[in-house]
Structure 1
Amino acid sequence: MAQFGFENDIQNIMKLDMPITNAPMPRWQRKASCSAPLSNSSLTPGKSGNKSQSLSKTPSKTPNKTPGKNVKCTPSKAGGDRYIPTRNGKQMDVASFLLTKENEPMDTNESTAAAENRKAWSVTLNGCNIEEAKILHFGGKPLNAPEGYQNNLKVLYSQGATPGSSKKTRYISSVPDRILDAPDLRNDFYLNLLDWSSQNMLAVALHDSVYLWNATAGDITQLMKMENSEEYISSVSFSKEGHFLAVGTSDCKVHLWDVANEKRLRTMSGHSARVGSLCWNEHVVSSGSRSGRIHHDDVRMPHPLIGSLSGHTQEVCGLKWSPDGRYLASGGNDNMVHVWPGVAETNSTGTTPAIRSFSEHTGAVKALAWCPWQSNILASGGGTSDRSIRVWNVNSGSCISCLDTQSQISSLVFAPNYKELVSGHGFAHNNVVIWKYPSFSKVMELNGHEDRVLNLIANPDCSAIASVAGDETVRLWKCFELDPIRKKAKDRGAAKSTSGVISHHAIR
């Protein structure tokens, strides 16, 4: 019998579903045994507190308070895992009202008393009116600032587009608006073979002939042709009003033409070499020749020569009068830039000294341009051995800035509509570049010419430029068109200004 009892004990031990008699007490049993005496001591007043005192004196129990400090105890979690604060009935009513009424659409027939009551409830619970405290709204008009409030910052939200967000970007086409053929064009860096009149007429010199292109109607007219085919046109320049065209030739003469009637008015001589540069100052036409001399001819006088300037040792290839007529800038093949006084201060002996002389360029200076909005600022560009654009202050005689373009500079034009400077280049880029002035950050490169660019000229409203190059083409680039609002404002300003007109009868 003892054997069967032993086997039964072995089988009971091997069964996993039987309770283990010698195992430690489970955690839930320990918690129940610890909480039972506490509950009995607190709920049963008749029993002794010996058991609770023995638990409080157990060394393994961590004290629930820091000695010497009055710390508020965390609420007991015996009843659940959340702490629900006590609310009185008034607060519960207010919360229920706001939850049910806050997002409902406003009744148009609601009385003023009800609206004031709702506002009072909101102020009582939240300390402020919720409707006035909202920062973002999904619909409706933007909130108005309180009366008397001033904010220098921009508006952060708005129904319509703000001026900053509606800013338009300027588009510059990389292809020319029009291309004109210019056969037999002389590919000579030192000549000035292109000009654009205030009457919207473009004059182009093609070897021994001068052609006029009406940019408005598109008509082409041959104005003149040299009698000797071995001679050629070396420069052209329109008067300020556009009625007259001065033509310099290789036979040392300057011809004056009436453009409207296509009639030659007079021929002025006096130079000893070809006339490669021309420029007008009211009724005075200034001409520069290969001899290095500059002549002033008053076209109203029987004997037109009224002044002569001698300062260049080689050919004068660039001439530009300042917008106010106070200064004449000249550039030559001797790498010099001279600034001369006005016509009234010039004598006919050629001994008038230059106001300023700049020798910083290391190449021939043909490109000259006066700033239209700063009459004392002059820009000059050097040839192949220089390749730099320099900006001068003629009052102080200082060089304001210098930019190396890495290419021969043949022409410079200021674009007043956008405060930019345009440069025409020969070797090695053969292109037109638009620069932001005065930072000289590159705005755009206009490529297309297959040979060096010889001259640049702007149209009457400065919205486009024309470039002529050794590839026998004239290309028109519309890069500076104004938006309608700015154009109207500019037209109103131009209508107020007046200018003198040369009378046909004053020229003999």
Structure 2
Amino acid sequence: MPTKNRIIPAAPFRILDAPNLKDDFYCSPLAYSFVSQTLAICLGNILYAWTEEGGVNMIHGAHSQTWLTSISFSSEQGARAILGIGQSDGSLVLRSIYDGLPRFEVQQPFPIACVGWRPTCTLRQSKNPFNPGVLVQTEDLVVGDEMGTLYYYVVEWPMGWEVSANAWPGAVSLVAKITIHSQQICGLAWAPDGKLFTSGGNDNLCCLFEVDRILEQSLIYPAQNENDNPPRPEPFSIGVGSDAGEEASLYSYNTAAPNPNIRADENISEVETFRTSLDSLRHLGSGLERHRWVHGAAVKAMAFCPWRRGLLATGGGSNDKCIHFFHTTSGTALATISVSAQVTSLIWSTTRREIAATFGYAQPEHPYRIAIFSWPDCKQVAAIPWEGELRALYAIPYPHGPAYKKNQKSGSVGQEGCIVVASSDKSIKFHEVWSRERGATVGGRGMLGGSDILEGLEGIDKEGDVIR
């Protein structure tokens, strides 16, 4: 890897101990909510929430033989701060950071590998049986499992006061099942406008999907029959997902009578289930994807550029060891950076024309576990070495840097260029990779033969490295 030419702090400005952090390339153990300003951390079978002001609190625990594989917060636009929690036993748990208990649990047939919320909300007709048809904001959630299947859920999540008023906890609808990958889903990424998402798999594929194609002609919320008289659900009832041989998700309500459709070994009593309409579930397969890109190894790291529509970065695993750039409209491969390491995360800067990457196993061995590259010239501009054989397992952007509390007191808090990294030494490291000061504008030569027309089409520009 080239020598770094920008000086950034090599030491993290904060380190959190993370006992029981799973040393696993396939886990995504971090998530941040801009709504509640909460960092969620998976440590084995326990989920913790950490904030600058409140410190650490345990918020969820699974059975001791189960571990948490992936977490994700719902959209900032929706302001619900819903955590989607994937577990190795196939359980998908949905709970708000503001609630004392989980609100829904969906049991999927295979272990969950990845979860990812759509970054935008969608207006849909309410599923509330006591107020049907009213347009409400809903959230969309994609879940990937160890078999390579993607599940697309629509979640209606009333606020706490609405739950208390109506005694109705909301609804989780499975609207699409996508079978394209042949092996475990390793990563999910959404475009900022919520119109596209990508899935990366252990089959070395990255697939790009258009949400409109997945949801077209799907009856997400079937109309209620006027004569239906459903039992009145209890607040915060737990939804039970499909059995291994079934496709549609199930809803549960606390009732006095047990349901024979629930297996005894599920250890759930006094639950009656209601299936979503089978007309609402779409079975989708190969050919649905807009593009598919073959890599040399598993694809976990993916990131859509926030300031250049149509630009996607992906990272390959140990046998690929490259960062790839693609144009999402045409599918064109734009550039490749060889990093001699397993790529575990990719994070675009929101203030500079740069991208940060974190690395796992390196071959040939080198000490860098975080590196910054410029776009479009793909040059390394900074790197952070780690001592020994430590690896960066996963990373996410974090808006608060070392000067946060000082700036908070002075009233000048702004988003800082920091990332939070899960490390193989069972710690969580906070690194400042972009300072709050904007750098000088620097021009750069493109990669596509110097053609301004072609480079404009493919998401490449020459405006310099600073977003104004």
- TM-score, normalised to structure 1, is 0.59
- 1:437 counterpart letter in structure 2: W
Q: What are the Cα deviations for residues 229-268 of structure 1, in whole angstroms up to 9, with x where unaligned?
A: 0011010101122621110001112111110234311112
Aligned-residue offset at 1:479: 2.2
Q: Distance in 2 between matches of 1:383 and 1:247?
A: 24
Q: Distance in 1 between matches of 2:438 and 2:391?
A: 35
- 1:324 counterpart letter in structure 2: D
1:182 counterpart residue number: 18
2:311 counterpart residue number: 377
SS class of match (1:431)? strand
Conserved? CA contact 1:368–1:411, under 8 Å = yes
Aligned-residue offset at 1:485: 12
1:434 counterpart residue number: 372
1:232-251 matches, cutoff 5 A: 232-241=67-76, 243-251=81-89
2:113 counterpart residue number: 276
Q: Is residue 2:404 matched to residue 1:465? A: no
Q: Distance in 2 between matches of 1:276 and 1:433?
A: 26
Q: Distance in 2 between matches of 1:422 and 1:459?
A: 13
Q: Distance in 1 between matches of 2:6 and 2:292?
A: 39
1:483 counterpart (424, 429, 437) = 437
Aligned-residue offset at 1:447: 2.2
Aligned-residue offset at 1:420: 1.1
Aligned-residue offset at 1:444: 1.5
- 1:416 counterpart letter in structure 2: T
Higher helix share: 1
2:97 counterpart (245, 259, 284) = 259
1:451 counterpart (359, 367, 390) = 390
Aligned-residue offset at 1:303: 4.5
Q: Is residue 2:291 matched to residue 1:291? A: no
Q: Distance in 2 between matches of 1:320 and 1:268?
A: 22
2:336 counterpart residue number: 402
Q: Distance in 2 between matches of 1:324 and 1:279?
A: 14
1:223 counterpart residue number: 59
Conserved? CA contact 2:7–2:382, under 8 Å = no
- 1:373 counterpart letter in structure 2: W
Q: What are the Cα deviations for residues 7-33 of structure 1, in whole angstroms up to 9, with x where unaligned?
A: xxxxxxxxxxxxxxxxxxxxxxxxxxx
1:42 counterpart residue number: none
- 1:444 counterpart letter in structure 2: A
CA RMSD of aligned residues (A): 2.1
- 1:412 counterpart letter in structure 2: L
Aligned-residue offset at 1:190: 0.9
Relative contact order, CA 8 A, sep 6+: which one is greater? 2
Q: What are the Cα deviations for residues 331-384 of structure 1, in whole angstroms up to 9, with x where unaligned?
A: 00000010011156336333251111111x110000000000112111100000
Q: Distance in 2 between matches of 1:424 and 1:286?
A: 24
Q: What are the Cα deviations for residues 126-161 of structure 1, in whole angstroms up to 9, with x where unaligned?
A: xxxxxxxxxxxxxxxxxxxxxxxxxxxxxxxxxxxx
Q: Distance in 2 between matches of 1:466 and 1:358?
A: 28
Higher strand share: 2
Rg larger in structure: 1
Q: Is residue 2:273 matched to residue 1:349? A: no
Aligned-residue offset at 1:310: 1.3
Conserved? CA contact 1:189–1:410, under 8 Å = yes
Q: Distance in 2 between matches of 1:170 and 1:409?
A: 21
- 1:185 counterpart letter in structure 2: L
Decide whether aligned partners of structure 1 residues 321 and 248 sit closer, same or farther in structure 2, where only a CA change above 3 A counts. Answer: same
Q: Distance in 2 between matches of 1:234 and 1:374?
A: 31
2:428 counterpart residue number: 474
Aligned-residue offset at 1:481: 3.1
Deviates more, 1:174-183 or 1:238-247: 238-247
Q: Distance in 2 between matches of 1:267 and 1:179?
A: 32
Conserved? CA contact 2:116–2:189, under 8 Å = yes
**Alignment coverage as a number of residue pairs:** 314
In structure 1, list runs of 5 or more residues that go unmatched: 1-168, 487-508
